[in-house]
Amino acid sequence: MNRRGYRFAAAALALWFTIPLAAQTGAIDPLHSFFTVRVFKAGLFSAFGHEHEVRAPLTEGAIHESGAPSVELRVDARRLTVLDPNRPEKERAEVQETMLGPTVLDSSRFPEIRFRSTAVEKKGADHWQVRGELTLHGQTRPVLVDVVCEGGRYRGSAMLKQTDFGITPVRVGGGTVKVKDEVRVEFEIAVR
């Protein structure tokens, strides 16, 4: 994947945070806004591993249309929740603990995930390209995100590399089962 591809991926994480500026200015509706992270398995014995689905609500954010359009979003990293509906509760709890713990997100040290736009460009009807900075795990990286508005909600997805943010993908069994470095981030955002 080229550098632009990685930026787009990082945008994925920002995707969840990237909100286009339709004809709206206002606060994000945290009750109806969230992102979903899909973590994929890899390795020689990946058939024995599990893919994971993680959900996080946006805690706050705003979009501003007047002057220079902008988007700002925040997520409490400690509120990310492992969904994995087909896994037993005990396994979900173990994955949750690992994800929030020092080997992955280290959410006690880095409790906030933030996105702040640096430029918003309209690409067509209900379609925007948003450039910005994503801060995750204490690392800030530039991101580029394509966003569309469907049914009054802003949606998008992208691929991110964990290592771009200083996160080492989890490995077990000497690396025979591991999660891929790239994760898919999808978002849905509503504005009040």
pLDDT (tens digit, 9 = 90+) per residue, 137-189? 999 998 888 888 888 788 877 778 999 999 988 766 444 346 788 888 888 88
Residues 6+ apart with CB under 8 A from 47: none
pLDDT (tens digit, 9 = 90+) per residue, 54-97? 898 888 888 776 667 788 889 999 999 988 888 888 988 988 89
Which tokens sit at 57? 């609500």
State the pLDDT at residue 18: 39
- 140: CATH: 2.40.128.110
Averaged pLDDT, 130-138: 91
% pLDDT > 70, the chain: 76
State the pLDDT at residue 12: 40
pTM for this prediction: 0.76
State the pLDDT at residue 123: 87
**Into how many domains does the chain fold?**
1
Domain range for 21 is 3-189
With 60 as the cut, is the pLDDT of residue 45 above it? Answer: no
From CA 75, how far away is CA 153, in angstroms rounded?
18
∠ CA 18-71-106, nearest 5°, is: 60
State the pLDDT at residue 7: 40
